[in-house]
Amino acid sequence: MTSWPADERLWRSVAETLVSDILPALDGPTRDVALQLSGLARYAATRGGDPRPSRASRLAELIGIPGEPAWAEVAEAASGVLCEARGFALASDGDPAQSTRDAVVASRSQRLRDDLRAFLAEDLATAGPLLDTFARHGSSAVSDAATRPDEVAALKQWFSDTLGEPISQFDSRLISGGHSRRMLDVTVETDSETLRFVVRIEQGGVFATDGASEETVMRALHRAGVPVAPIRWSEPGHVLGRPFFVMERVEGDHDADLAALEVFAIELHRLHQMDVEGLRSAFAGAPGSPEEAIELAIARWEQAYRGATDCPVPLLDDAAAWLRTNLHPTGALSVVHGDPGPGNFIHRDGQIRAITDWEFAHIGDAAEDWVYLAALRGVRVMDTDEWAAWLERHVGVRYDANDWRAWTAFNLFKGACANLTAFHVFESEEMSGPNLLAVGTALHSRMLLRLSELIE
């Protein structure tokens, strides 16, 4: 071969072709995928080399590790320094010698945090092309294009076997929005009736959640009168190679104005007021007290992120140490949705027809839901201060500044940890969608940077 094109030029060609020739011919969910691919190509063309070796050298010098240690060793040591500093800040009792030592540790840990945040800002800038084209979670639009022929054939046969009669017409289309599960809108016609379902398919454990647990919770809540789509069947993975469950399709609107949000807030408040004892069996490892709920929540997301990486993330460990000191119960145990707000409920005629996306549901503190709605998911509707006043006015929910800060930090911690699992799934080749890379790099970095600045 007389020539060898550079990787950067190859990826730029892919990106330019997608933008100039392919995207103008597409719309809907298919266009979202092409946008993600163009961002993936631009990211590959511009990201440069792996920065971890140079970063490891910089931090090793600050921490006092000799030689040229690998990033994993430095990250482990950095986590130890940051968590140790949090402990010293608590233990200081006015002793001059202790105070001097605390000051030294605090100074070193602060320089370490500053460097780690600078690295995060660099990572966020590098991943900018992924974030620019990321298909954000919005209303659940149904694609005009059918899903893969092999998938259609397998599902058609399964529905025929499950319903016990031949299918005269079968249609399966992708539903956009969300990343924890792949969702299909399915229409089944038999000689006697036309049925519509939503198929919710496992995606390799994204966000450290699983469909079986979600199904158990949804069935229990539906029996208890919560507006949840009825689940008809589940399949362990023989048909599509991944487990899925099938819900009846609930008709209504996903886009939410303030009137719809008011009805949703009342329904969410009703969920929080339910007797958790009658629902406890649906939640594995349910806590026995509000204090235990907080301990378990922090530990859950620590374990999720550590299971998705081969080395510690120092700023996440630092945040976990901060949360264990600053996050406190705000009330009795409640059923917590975990991801409430616009896009995750269906409404029609002034009523909530269904609350959707229950993969994060657990028994915990209602503040997690309300602060998540006001500080993260709902900020495109109004800012957090407006939400705080709105919630107090409409459902009587009120928290002081410390609770708002601590529960905002927890939700950012949860998000940063959960997002790392998307990168793990992408790396493992279980799933290879560019949205997973965007979630596991750009969105993770953005949440973690905001978290670290918030607890400063």
Q: What is the pLDDT of residue 308?
A: 94
List the single range of 29-33, 260-264, 382-386 with lowest mean pLDDT.
29-33
Express each pLDDT in 380-399 by its tens digit.
889 999 999 999 999 999 99
Express each pLDDT in 265-287 by its tens digit.
999 999 999 999 999 999 999 99
Please say whether the beta carbons of 246 and 233 come within 8 A.
yes
Q: Model-level pTM?
A: 0.93
Residues 285, 384: one domain? yes
Proportion of the chain above pLDDT 90, given as a percent? 78
Residue burial 344-379, b: 16+ Cβ < 10 Å; e: rest: bbbbeeeebbbbbbbbbbbbbbbbbbbbbbbbbbbe
- Rounded to the nearest integer, the mean pLDDT of the chain is 91
Contacts of 390 (CB under 8 A, 6+ apart): 382
Residues 337, 405: one domain? yes
Residues 297, 446: one domain? yes
Range of the domain at 389: 256-454
Domain boundary among 126, 157, 181: 126
Copy the structure tokens of residue 86.
């949090």
Residues 109, 147: one domain? no
List the single range of 214-218, 363-367, 433-437, 441-445 with lowest mean pLDDT.
433-437
Q: What is the pLDDT of residue 61?
A: 94
Q: What is the pLDDT of residue 92?
A: 47
Q: Rounded distance, CA 3 to CA 59, Å?
A: 40
Q: What is the pLDDT of residue 168?
A: 95
Q: Is residue 135 part of a domain?
A: no
Per the listing, tokens 């209303």 go with 139
- Number of separate domains in the chain: 4
Residues 162, 117: one domain? no
Per the listing, tokens 């058609």 go with 156
Please compute Rg for the chain using Cα positions: 24
Residue 64 has pLDDT above 60, yes or no: yes
Domain boundary among 203, 223, 248: 248
Q: Which has the closest alpha carbon to 186: 204, 200, 198?
A: 198
Proportion of the chain above pLDDT 70, given as a percent? 93
Express each pLDDT in 117-158 by its tens digit.
999 999 999 999 998 877 554 445 565 556 788 999 999 999
Residues 291, 192: one domain? no
- 451 sits in which H/E element: helix 444-454
Please say whether the beta carbons of 337 and 271 come within 8 A.
yes
Residues 436, 411: one domain? yes
Q: Is residue 279 part of a domain?
A: yes
Instruction: Kindly indicate the confidence band of residue 1, based on its pLDDT and cuts at 50, 70 and 90.
Output: low
Q: Which has the closest alpha carbon to 31: 141, 131, 122?
A: 141
Express each pLDDT in 414-451 by its tens digit.
999 999 999 999 998 777 788 889 999 999 999 999 99
Residues 191, 284: one domain? no
Q: What is the pLDDT of residue 106?
A: 81
Q: Which has the closest alpha carbon to 373: 345, 401, 334, 347?
A: 345
Instruction: Kindly indicate the confidence band of residue 31, based on its pLDDT and cuts at 50, 70 and 90.
Output: confident
Q: Rounded distance, CA 155 to CA 170, Å?
A: 9
Residue 94 has pLDDT above 60, yes or no: no
Q: Is residue 319 part of a domain?
A: yes
Residues 209, 281: one domain? no
